[in-house]
Structure 1
């Protein structure tokens, strides 16, 4: 399994800057409101200091009451400013989160199918669920909280320095230890959280594969092997989470210790300054209150710094989807009614040996070609090359003289359709599921397509085309889902159709009837069938026998049977079993 890429820091900074530029007006107003709230919040400690100094100076109750009322008024104004700023900031964060999610979906849908298949469902599923949710939480909570707390902290430090520069330096007593441990943590945290995300993806992939292949696991008695695989992935995840926990177990205790230093230092230094007459008692009390007041925003920054690392790691994984080179947007077009030609095609999957070895094949327009051969011969790989999903390592696959990989993807999908035995029923109505293939199809078109593939189960649906399908609604069994996929194919009406064991989930009788119905509907179309049932080869115009990645025989059914080669042996063996 090849994991999808992750974005580097420059890409992350660029994405964040772009989001900020898109919201620069509301974001600017939010910052101004938070700054105003922070400044107003500084009034209370300063006024308390003034009250102390005025009482020592002999002020009356009336003057103290006025100052106390001023404190109450500042608290009310601060609450109003903070609430307004938070509401506006939440709207900014939600819009940014929505834009990020939309971009993620758009990038995911542009991923080449081959890249998705190599990465596996686990990595993509984790990024689209866990990582996207983590980034959303960061935008809603982490970023605003850190930003607000930073503004408050800077304002508090500025207020202390204004009281007296010496007090300003004293309030920074906890800074050296905090900065040192934060730098230590930030050097290690990004990679640690990326490793944790990677381990989660691999665990999800393993669990998904085991669940989807439960019947195969049971039939082949692979339970112990899958348990060992799952245990190994859980161990990897536990190890990576333990690594991030080890970082937090150092980081947070040091920071908590650093919180007490400014207040203690302020009391000691303030006493010294007061004894020497450098400051008034009110100034010392105000500075001490400011040092205590700084703990809350600093604590929020520290706490959310850990979540920010998670959010940053998840953002790099979300943005990493956009680093995958998009499917080539060819501009070439191929005239209709042309041959699909393979010349000297060799292909190997990443890091492996060649699966196909110098394939030469020409599929004539309107021809029905069956490809047969033993398991592992490369039949499905050849189908993928013909459909343009993968490109040959050497050689070329062309349609009307134009390499299929140079065709515009939209045109290529209109011209060549690949249907496999893996089908998906989308959550929605039957009408929605059919409309994916032909958005402009009428109800009559959809009904005709269902009838063409023998989907008799349609008549039992309570709401016809408006029946809800998928999780939480009506479930289609594998055979029905396969016929639904074939009905989509009829609606798509491609020039060339590649069936990679597309009727494998159907029983032999239904499969035979479905293929005959499809044959009538697709009359005049080019059909390439990866055949596991040899009656498909019997009905084809020509049969290509694929063995060990090479075409060993090519001809009509009768010609190959008379030749007495590999196909004849397969036919006699298969036909004898059926007799």
Structure 2
């Protein structure tokens, strides 16, 4: 069952924003100071123009006009220079903040429990990693600096308008009711609307990803129309979400236009009336009207960019929500006494109330090789994941050296137990980088070549023109599924954990090559504990003991010879598999 990742609340978003501000006090105050000075320089124009109007009314000289024009040009030049550096500092600050946000998000994402990632699905996380990060980047780089400039400009302009006379406040107050009512109405609905909109994008990504990855299965089962219908439903949900936010904007912005126009018209009319009464001069009416007119642009930007900030805030809430996923392990600080792996009365369920493992007991001796076999869906891979510490058991315990696997920090755990499955990822980079990333130290070329040789991969790597420096992955040489699997196994050899859980780790490799590879690995991993989950029974034949998993329990446990002699499920499975291999010419051993 798919579960969405959590979304941070408003309090967490505000706390994170304040923390970011505290991390960059110098750049923040420098940017605010420069913006304030730039706004002050721009406020000189209405006052100068008002004085010029008064001078013209009383009779003036060309020299006075020229001097006023020169002053206007000087203030505009100063404003342009200050604005340039203010924007530069603001955008530099934005880049630093965005870098921190991305680093925090990546760190929180990598710390997610694997089970949570699987239950959430790839669409939600992919949308947060791409669309939400991009949207937040736009908000941090552009929207937030512009909004800050607009707020500073609006405050200083209003103060400048009041400096003309107290009466300017009265017409300005006329625009407050529609502004406040419109903002309260919009803000009460916008965040929920944009969160719903972003969630709809996650669902579309999820459906597209599943349909693309499972295209062959969909075609084979003839259920393409059902997948199209599912995508149509997702698009309909996204359309409804976007239509809702669009409706908010179509109501909100027109109401804001009214709040802009009323003060300007009222200032001109009220100031004109005061002028006829002899209470104010023509220059004061001119300056006041110009100041109020100047308020329109910053207030309009405050309101318009507020919409962008709502989108950015929703994206930030989704990114911060990743950090709110509860950890599935609590490090106690206890140190394992040895490497003995034990599972006691283990129960586990992916969905509450439906266990897939039922009271499993398994004790694996140090250096022992255990093979787990059984029908598909019996619980082999699930048990393997619990033995590797990927999931905590619902009930019972899985310990190494007497310490629960989920009581160990991940770095410590991977030094004791590591899991390799048939699902592998080749990172964009060189062959050497792909393998060396598993080492706890800086690996030498000799160590990397040795790990490749241990998994029979050194020959095809040496055939590359650049050898270990050959670029692979996205943008580089594409590796086959079998080669990618060998790269993953080479990482495992270099990581050098004591206990290995191999979940069909050679399933993508040709059976004959896989047989040789497993023998090579066995030689390299001699003395280490190995738990191999496989459908190729030569792994079971070579193992010290075999665990037969059926319906979430271990139905048989013993050596290959003991289980064949017992004539149970394993004996039937061995006879069927061995005979089938003989008929097809594969090694039967």
Query: Normalising by structure 2, what TM-score?
Result: 0.95
The DSSP-based 3-state class of the residue aligned with 1:345 is strand
The CA distance in 2 between the partners of 1:563 and 1:155, in whole Å, is 91
Q: What is the CA distance between 1:448 and its match in structure 2?
A: 2.0
- 1:432-487 CA deviation, whole Å, 9 max, x = no partner? 00101124322122212212212232232110000001111100011110011111
- Number of equivalences: 578
Give structure 1 stretches of 5+ with no counterpart.
Answer: none
Matches of residues 45-84 of structure 1 in structure 2 within 5 Å?
45-84=46-85
Q: What is the CA distance between 1:132 and its match in structure 2?
A: 1.6
The DSSP-based 3-state class of the residue aligned with 1:171 is helix
Q: Tell me the equivalent position of 1:525.
A: 528
Contact 2:462-2:468 within 8 A present in 1 as well? no
Residue 28 (1) aligns with residue 33 (2): no
Contact 1:332-1:408 within 8 A present in 2 as well? no
Between 1:422-431 and 1:544-553, the stretch displaced more is 544-553
Matches of residues 116-135 of structure 1 in structure 2 within 5 Å?
116-135=117-136
The CA distance in 1 between the partners of 2:142 and 2:460, in whole Å, is 49
The DSSP-based 3-state class of the residue aligned with 1:498 is strand
Contact 2:337-2:402 within 8 A present in 1 as well? no
The correspondence for 2:464, drawn from 461, 464, 473, is 461
Q: What is the CA distance between 1:332 and its match in structure 2?
A: 1.8
Q: Tell me the equivalent position of 1:446.
A: 448
Between 1:391-400 and 1:562-571, the stretch displaced more is 562-571
The correspondence for 2:485, drawn from 462, 482, 485, is 482
- 1:398-423 CA deviation, whole Å, 9 max, x = no partner? 11222122223212101111000000
Q: What is the CA distance between 1:247 and its match in structure 2?
A: 0.9
Matches of residues 63-462 of structure 1 in structure 2 within 5 Å?
63-326=64-327, 327-336=329-338, 338-438=339-439, 439-455=441-457, 456-462=459-465
Q: What is the CA distance between 1:229 and its match in structure 2?
A: 2.4
Contact 1:330-1:405 within 8 A present in 2 as well? no
Between 1:33-42 and 1:380-389, the stretch displaced more is 33-42
Q: What is the CA distance between 1:111 and its match in structure 2?
A: 2.1
The CA distance in 2 between the partners of 1:21 and 1:550, in whole Å, is 55
The CA distance in 1 between the partners of 2:386 and 2:529, in whole Å, is 16
The DSSP-based 3-state class of the residue aligned with 1:294 is helix
Contact 1:449-1:490 within 8 A present in 2 as well? yes
Q: Tell me the equivalent position of 1:494.
A: 497
The CA distance in 2 between the partners of 1:573 and 1:284, in whole Å, is 100
Q: Tell me the equivalent position of 1:6.
A: 7
Between 1:250-259 and 1:37-46, the stretch displaced more is 250-259
The CA distance in 1 between the partners of 2:427 and 2:136, in whole Å, is 26
Between 1:301-310 and 1:226-235, the stretch displaced more is 226-235
Between 1:61-70 and 1:394-403, the stretch displaced more is 61-70
Q: Tell me the equivalent position of 1:576.
A: 579
The CA distance in 1 between the partners of 2:35 and 2:497, in whole Å, is 59
The DSSP-based 3-state class of the residue aligned with 2:357 is strand
Q: What is the CA distance between 1:381 and its match in structure 2?
A: 0.8
The CA distance in 2 between the partners of 1:225 and 1:445, in whole Å, is 51
The DSSP-based 3-state class of the residue aligned with 1:504 is coil
Q: What is the CA distance between 1:352 and its match in structure 2?
A: 5.0
Q: Tell me the equivalent position of 2:586.
A: none
User: Structure 1 pair 102/381, CA: closer, same or farther in 2 (3 Å)?
Assistant: same
Give structure 2 stretches of 5+ with no counterpart.
Answer: 584-589
The DSSP-based 3-state class of the residue aligned with 1:355 is strand
The DSSP-based 3-state class of the residue aligned with 2:133 is helix
The CA distance in 1 between the partners of 2:579 and 2:282, in whole Å, is 106
- 1:487-507 CA deviation, whole Å, 9 max, x = no partner? 111111221111111111112
Between 1:17-26 and 1:466-475, the stretch displaced more is 17-26
Contact 2:194-2:311 within 8 A present in 1 as well? yes
The DSSP-based 3-state class of the residue aligned with 2:173 is coil
The DSSP-based 3-state class of the residue aligned with 2:530 is strand
Contact 1:373-1:546 within 8 A present in 2 as well? yes
The correspondence for 2:515, drawn from 495, 499, 512, is 512
Between 1:357-366 and 1:116-125, the stretch displaced more is 116-125
The CA distance in 2 between the partners of 1:224 and 1:516, in whole Å, is 47
The CA distance in 1 between the partners of 2:352 and 2:137, in whole Å, is 36
Between 1:154-163 and 1:265-274, the stretch displaced more is 265-274
Between 1:390-399 and 1:162-171, the stretch displaced more is 162-171
The CA distance in 2 between the partners of 1:193 and 1:424, in whole Å, is 33
The DSSP-based 3-state class of the residue aligned with 2:554 is strand
Q: What is the CA distance between 1:315 and its match in structure 2?
A: 0.7
User: Structure 1 pair 208/443, CA: closer, same or farther in 2 (3 Å)?
Assistant: same
The CA distance in 1 between the partners of 2:148 and 2:579, in whole Å, is 77
User: Structure 1 pair 440/167, CA: closer, same or farther in 2 (3 Å)?
Assistant: closer
